[in-house]
Structure 1
Amino acid sequence: MPREITVCFIGNPNCGKTTLFNAYTGANLKVANWPGVTVERMEGAIQDHDMKIHLVDLPGTYSLTSYTMEEQVSRQFILSDQVDVIIDVVDASSLERSLYLTLQLLELNKPMVLALNMMDIIEKRGMEIDLHRLSELLGIPVVPVTARKKQGIHTLMHAACHQEEGQNSQVNHRPQAIQGEVIKRYAMEYDYNLESKISKIQSELVHKDPHILNPRWVAIKLLENDKEIKEKYSFDITELIDGDEDTRIINQKYDYIQAIIHEVLLGKKSKDELTDKIDRVVTHPVFGLLFFLLIMLLVFGLTFLLGDMLKGYVETFVDWMIQICTSGMETLHVSDWLIDLVTNGIIGGVGGILTFLPNIAILFLALAFLEDSGYMARVAYVMNDIMEHLGLSGRSFIPMVLGFGCTVPALMASRALESDKDRHRVMLVTPFFSCSAKLPVYILFSGLFFGEYATLAAYSMYIIGILVALIVAWLLHLKDKGKDINPLLIELPLYKMPSAYTIFIYVWDKVKDFLTKAGTTIFIASIIVWILMHVGFNGYTSDISTSFAAAIGNAIVPVMTPIGLGFWQICVALLAGLSAKEVVVSSTAVLFGISNINGIAGMQTLHTTLSSMGFTALNAYCLLLFCLLYVPCVASLGTIRKESGSIRYMFITMIFQILLAWVICFVVYQTGSIFLH
């Protein structure tokens, strides 16, 4: 029977830890939640000869002093007896910052390997790291890797397995001769005063519980006044405390790190790197914000331009599918209602959404490029001052920016915030950021009514969404004026040319999600809308005005008329859009009987029909605004319920967003009507 071990990956955010984890697991990945919290648990397994290796990717953390849910998860798992080997992933280009966590991990005295990632960046800088000397000083194997190129990964896992077997896990406690006698021995020894206190506390801990795990680490944490550790191991150490132990421990750790850096880092860093030059512009308080707006305008311009060039191929495929299905069913003498259901209901609804696939793919391609290049971290940095004036930590903008892709992971990212109040505020306003699901609605209706200004009309939705989110956050802050705000601590990674493979995997995952949604949620919604259109109180009907859909829509019309959306078909489409925002488009296609709604002929037909109903550019803009601001999809609501732990808060969010959307659309429509008339 093969032996089984558990290897966990831990490291700072943006150190390449997850890239390294994915290099081993590939598609053999299991995603679940850690017990008791909503933080994702990333697991995988590989086989190495007669050994089965379970791999766990822990959330990124800067230290074992935990503040956020993700940091707490990493700490609890690393302290447990479930871990056989720790792989500490360190960014070689930021060695000084990364080694702080390494020193904390070494104090646990567990089998451990240091994975020195991004060695290619060090080489490009003309620098070198003395790996042998670094290994000597830390007392553990040090393996150079380049995760995105999968270089060194086999050597790394081989070293981890050897550590578990105990072949290289012994700790060297002999004095280490380092210039200036800063470092006395490994594992790190503090000054005499601190060491005597640690020793006394450690002895007391072992006396009370002979089976205690990591007694030295616990003793150090008690001296650091760690709240969680103090609650768990409650005994009086007041007589040992002077009040500055935590500061002294931190300072001595950094002295240790400085000495290591002096010994192992060879060559000089260039004083004025490309990253520094670019950052002078993109992190500037004014120019940085303007640059971000310009970049987003460029992204959406390309999304429209390139998407329109490519959508013709999808349109041709959808038209071909309709022709094949129609002729096939007519040959088989299938009932007219079934032909209509398949062609106008299913293919018309699902196919209409599929024609937006090129736009969606291009949007995610651009977002992946910006994220992988290191730019998006700068956006959060630039927004920090604005967020603090609104009463939120600058860290709050990170989940909001993720909302441009999909609201669900953006809401889940709020768990990285330290304050529950911040988390709730961010969950309330994040849906105002335009997710990719709203893009088909923007493309369709801006293309129908705004002609050459279609890109600007759609782009304005993104800007308005950001402004509304920030204003709402500010209003919520007014009643808590003067409360402490957690400062932003964020790493600005080096700019790099994004990996084509990484971007491909990211875009492919998003495209798969989109296709899955088209084949499930949108498919089912299209059938339901078609049935509601063709069934009334007296059974099957060919007169749509007597259908259940018309009855439902007409019941909502009085409420929607003051905001310019008093058309029963539009009301039904918006109601159906609660399942997924793309369904607004597929439902519109089904409700107006258009098989290829994003094609030239389909758009002309829809424009003519809507115009004859009195639907103008002002109505279209209000529709875009309402789609931007009203309740997010069912999946997002479920995430709000799960992340907040309160179904009440989910309903408060729903009611607030519907009312806000209605009020803003009312102001825009009524004001616009006055000026236009």
Structure 2
Amino acid sequence: MSAVRQFKSAQNARENSRAAVRIALAGNPNCGKTTVFNGYTGARQHVGNYPGVTVDRKEGGIVFGGEPVTLVDLPGSYSLTAYSQEELVARRELAGNNVQAVIDVVDASALERNLLLTVQMLEMGMPVVLACNMMDEAREAGIHIDMERLGHLLGIPVLPMVARTGEGLQKAMQTALELAREGKREPLRLSYGSDLDALIAALEKKISGGGMLARRYHPHWVALKLVEGDEEIRSEAAADNASLAAELEELCRKTTAHVRGTLNASMESVITDHRYGYIHSLLRDGIIRQDPGKDRLALSDKLDKVLTNTFLGPLIMLGVLYLIYQITFEVGAYPQGWVEDAFAWLGDFCTDVMPEGLAQSLVVDGIIAGVGGVVSFVPLIMIMFALISFLEDSGYMARMAYMMDRIFRFFGLHGASVMPYVVSGGIAGGCAIPGAMATRTLRSPKEKLATLLTLPYMTCGAKLPVFLLLAGAFFPENAATVMFLIMIAGWVAALVVARLLRSSIVKGEATPFVMELPPYRMPTLFSVLLHCWERAWMYLKKAGTVLLAISVIIWAAMTFPSLPEDAAAPYEQKIEQIETRLSALPEGAAEREALEEELAGVRDQLGEEELAYSAAGRLGRLVEPVTRPAGFDWRTDIALLAGIAAKEAVVATMGTAYALGEQDPEDAAPLAERLKGDAAWSKATALSLMLFVLLYSPCFVALVVIRQEAGSWGWLVFSIVFNTALAYAVAVTAYQVGRAVWG
């Protein structure tokens, strides 16, 4: 029986009268902690954000041995020094009496590095179960751990685990619950040298006597963090007891100056060195043995000689990224087509059963078309994230960031920024919504913000119909080259603007690129599928609901106010006359084709007049004097305004605005012919519009996600205003230069 099936449903946990015990899962990145969490909770997970930050908050409810348990999956952290949002969140959750015990998941073959986090949790006084995960890989590599002896030295249970197969999951949970019942333990007290030991003891005595932060933290841990110079604890201490905090600060200052003068090192580095010294002393004398002739990292090292090679590495990376999108679109075309056909059938059905009028138009043109446009992308989203999850869990994602860091650092970004760019459309066809979500992997808030504000320049899938339409219509002999150059223009714009932002309003020191290159491993199918389902569901919830509302608003803006009867009467009379003449002609008559074309033309004229009179039409004419230097007329302006809601709407709205009815982005040839025949359009106009669409305000849903990730409405406004202003300046320049070159 699988590990997941060995636990009862979360519903049973909620029905149990006793309060649920909160058990935390902690561990370094790439230690298999997510697999452990999935093994316990399966799909019974709740995903949200911690208050004030955009770090994932994942919890799951289970019942173990008749006892309700809430399992909290802490963000992956190398330590609790609070340099990143992940570390800060993990520390707050642990130190704030929010959990009763911790299952600390460590990579069994990298024990020394993983134990730094363990030691810091023990210094907090947390009840900890040390779960040595990936024991199957360790055994295969000939690694043996004396867990009983290690547990005796640490004073905590140490257990083997293979989360992929479920081995050790039940034992770890049972032990964690036993520790939770025992309650808090005395913190681990290490020796940091005579000077620091005396200082910590003095601080602890004063903190305990003054009751500083007594409800949240152990006095020893507060003293230790004050000695380290932890800004978060300093602020909390000052807010709790300002006079005592000032006194403690003065004591720390004297010893800090002495240590820096004698050792030329910070207090934090001295403390960290002593922690590693303690860990090293634990693991000597046979705690870890490895069979001769076996090296777990040998295969990874051989692969890295090729995959991260200075010359071959970037080429292979580009090939891998290209393959992701090839698979996404080739495989996803089938389910995407099924979804589109289903919504087309639903639209036809509603058209047949509902009487013609506003209600039918709202349901068919507003609701069904809006929801269908979003839902049709879900198969692509699921496939793309399944592939990205595979790259991440396999260890290759870390290599991509490693290779791109040198280039990105020059522009003020981080190597980990590459994946948000790629997901957003760095290779044509992505989406800014999951791209913005992918910035959560960035540790520095400044680098994350610069990435968030520039990733909308990528050639997302929603922009492609516009580029395909205009490149094919005005540059038929060089359409592929134009498409490639537009993609390159997006990258250039993103990197240049990122450099500009990092040199001005988003200043801040670059984050050191410290990243473990984990061994290559085969991801589990369950983990990959669960990951892609989580992202797809988030996409549906955030994109579907918002775009539904926006689609209705666009429909209303292009429908109301209605054209007055006296203005519509001439067209309606002419339509009636032509229909009467058509009805009098037999099928197959030579005159029918000409009359049908004339009828379509009159209906198009009526549609154009109705659109021009609507709120959207009036707004387009109001904006036209501003956009004329870029080569845009009022009909193009309406399409661009609709594109703020969703870039997919640009081609469809242009079709309506040019009196051709709604256009299918996959088959926009009639619109292309109309644009080519319009005297107001030229190569310069097409180039200007492509660059404007590439750079201007992100779509509404992407803006919502950017606001959530940036944590401020101000950055949402900045993204709209700055990007649109940049797009306008570039479009005007391109149009004026294009006119001079092409005439």
TM-score of the pair, normalised by structure 1: 0.83
Structure 2 residue 492 is the aligned partner of structure 1 residue 428: no
What aligned pairs does 1:610-649 form with structure 2 within 5 A after superposition?
610-613=675-678, 622-641=688-707, 646-649=712-715
Q: Is the 8 A contact 1:345 1:590 kept in 2?
A: no
What aligned pairs does 1:410-425 form with structure 2 within 5 A after superposition?
411=436, 421-425=446-450
Q: 1:196 to 1:398 in 2, by over 3 A?
A: farther
Moved more, 280-289 or 149-158: 280-289
> Match for 1:202 among 204, 222, 226?
204
Q: Which residue of 1 aligns with 2:221?
A: 217
> Match for 2:516 among 483, 486, 491?
491
Q: Is the 8 A contact 2:191 2:274 kept in 1?
A: no
Q: Is the 8 A contact 1:522 1:580 kept in 2?
A: yes
Secondary structure of the 1:493 match is coil
Taking only the aligned residue pairs, the percentage that are identical comes to 37
Q: Which residue of 2 aligns with 1:226?
A: 230
The number of residues matched between the two structures is 656
Secondary structure of the 1:53 match is strand
Q: Is the 8 A contact 1:345 1:527 kept in 2?
A: yes
Secondary structure of the 2:152 match is helix
- Using the alignment, how far apart are the partners of 1:364 and 1:285 within structure 2? 27
Q: 1:200 to 1:310 in 2, by over 3 A?
A: closer
Q: Is the 8 A contact 1:526 1:587 kept in 2?
A: no
- Using the alignment, how far apart are the partners of 1:368 and 1:375 within structure 2? 10
> Match for 1:249 among 268, 271, 283?
271
Larger Rg: 2
What aligned pairs does 1:51-62 form with structure 2 within 5 A after superposition?
51-62=67-78
Segments of 5+ residues of structure 2 without an aligned counterpart are: 1-16, 238-244, 569-605
Q: Which has the higher contact order (CA 8 A, sep 6+)?
A: 1
Moved more, 638-647 or 255-264: 638-647
What aligned pairs does 1:526-605 form with structure 2 within 5 A after superposition?
526-536=551-561, 538=563, 542-547=606-611, 548=614, 549-564=616-631, 566-584=632-650, 587=653, 597-598=664-665, 602-605=667-670
- Using the alignment, how far apart are the partners of 2:350 and 2:477 within structure 1? 36
Secondary structure of the 2:20 match is strand
- Using the alignment, how far apart are the partners of 1:301 and 1:456 within structure 2? 19
Q: Is the 8 A contact 2:101 2:126 kept in 1?
A: yes
Q: 1:298 to 1:639 in 2, by over 3 A?
A: closer
Cα distance per residue 1:475-521 (max 9 Å; x no partner) = 34456999743312222222223333233233334444455567534
- Using the alignment, how far apart are the partners of 2:675 and 2:335 within structure 1? 26
The Cα shift of 1:629 comes to 1.5
Q: Which residue of 2 aligns with 1:47?
A: 63
- Using the alignment, how far apart are the partners of 1:215 and 1:350 within structure 2? 56
Q: Which residue of 2 aligns with 1:176?
A: none
Q: Which residue of 1 aligns with 2:407?
A: 386
Cα distance per residue 1:602-639 (max 9 Å; x no partner) = 44444444444466777555544333321123344345
- Using the alignment, how far apart are the partners of 2:654 and 2:172 within structure 1? 55
Q: Which residue of 2 aligns with 1:181?
A: none
Q: 1:342 to 1:477 in 2, by over 3 A?
A: closer
Q: Counterpart amino acid of 1:556? A: V
Q: Which residue of 2 aligns with 1:654?
A: 720
Structure 2 residue 153 is the aligned partner of structure 1 residue 137: yes
The Cα shift of 1:84 comes to 0.8
What aligned pairs does 1:117-516 form with structure 2 within 5 A after superposition?
117-166=133-182, 188-189=190-191, 195-209=197-211, 211=214, 213-230=217-234, 232=237, 233-234=245-246, 235=248, 236-237=251-252, 240=255, 242-243=258-259, 244=263, 246-262=268-284, 263-268=286-291, 269-270=294-295, 273-308=298-333, 311-329=336-354, 334-335=355-356, 338-351=359-372, 355-394=376-415, 397=418, 400=421, 403-404=424-425, 407=432, 411=436, 421-435=446-460, 438=463, 460-478=485-503, 484-516=509-541
Moved more, 417-426 or 649-658: 417-426
- Using the alignment, how far apart are the partners of 1:454 and 1:373 within structure 2? 37
Q: 1:339 to 1:498 in 2, by over 3 A?
A: same
- Using the alignment, how far apart are the partners of 1:430 and 1:467 within structure 2? 11
Q: Is the 8 A contact 2:328 2:380 kept in 1?
A: yes
Cα distance per residue 1:427-485 (max 9 Å; x no partner) = 43233245565566667766888889877765655443232111112234456999743
The Cα shift of 1:85 comes to 0.6
Q: CA RMSD in A?
A: 3.9
- Using the alignment, how far apart are the partners of 2:297 and 2:165 within structure 1? 27
Q: 1:625 to 1:133 in 2, by over 3 A?
A: farther
Q: Which residue of 2 aligns with 1:106?
A: 122
Q: Which residue of 2 aligns with 1:177?
A: none
Cα distance per residue 1:373-406 (max 9 Å; x no partner) = 2222222222222233223454555655564565
The Cα shift of 1:217 comes to 2.7
Cα distance per residue 1:287-320 (max 9 Å; x no partner) = 4333333333333344444445665444543443
The Cα shift of 1:161 comes to 0.4
- Using the alignment, how far apart are the partners of 1:518 and 1:3 within structure 2? 36
Cα distance per residue 1:46-77 (max 9 Å; x no partner) = 22344222222222222121122332222222
Q: Is the 8 A contact 1:553 1:568 kept in 2?
A: yes
Q: 1:437 to 1:100 in 2, by over 3 A?
A: farther
The Cα shift of 1:133 comes to 3.0
- Using the alignment, how far apart are the partners of 1:345 and 1:41 within structure 2? 35
- Using the alignment, how far apart are the partners of 1:208 and 1:630 within structure 2? 57
Q: Is the 8 A contact 1:344 1:594 kept in 2?
A: no
The Cα shift of 1:644 comes to 5.1
Secondary structure of the 1:86 match is strand
Secondary structure of the 1:577 match is helix
Q: Counterpart amino acid of 1:258? A: H
Q: 1:451 to 1:521 in 2, by over 3 A?
A: farther
The Cα shift of 1:113 comes to 0.9
Q: Counterpart amino acid of 1:597? A: D
The Cα shift of 1:98 comes to 0.9
Q: Counterpart amino acid of 1:474? A: R
Secondary structure of the 1:486 match is coil
Q: Counterpart amino acid of 1:378? A: R
> Match for 1:666 among 732, 736, 741?
732
Q: Is the 8 A contact 1:282 1:291 kept in 2?
A: yes
Q: Is the 8 A contact 1:300 1:459 kept in 2?
A: no
Q: Is the 8 A contact 1:350 1:586 kept in 2?
A: no
Q: 1:155 to 1:444 in 2, by over 3 A?
A: farther
Secondary structure of the 2:349 match is helix
Q: Counterpart amino acid of 1:626? A: F
Q: Is the 8 A contact 2:192 2:274 kept in 1?
A: yes
- Using the alignment, how far apart are the partners of 1:90 and 1:140 within structure 2? 14
Moved more, 256-265 or 393-402: 393-402
Cα distance per residue 1:566-621 (max 9 Å; x no partner) = 2544432321222333444564576666678255xx44444444444466777555
Q: Counterpart amino acid of 1:428? A: L
Q: Counterpart amino acid of 1:465? A: G
Q: Counterpart amino acid of 1:506? A: H
- Using the alignment, how far apart are the partners of 1:151 and 1:587 within structure 2? 57
Segments of 5+ residues of structure 1 without an aligned counterpart are: 174-185
- Using the alignment, how far apart are the partners of 1:3 and 1:348 within structure 2? 47
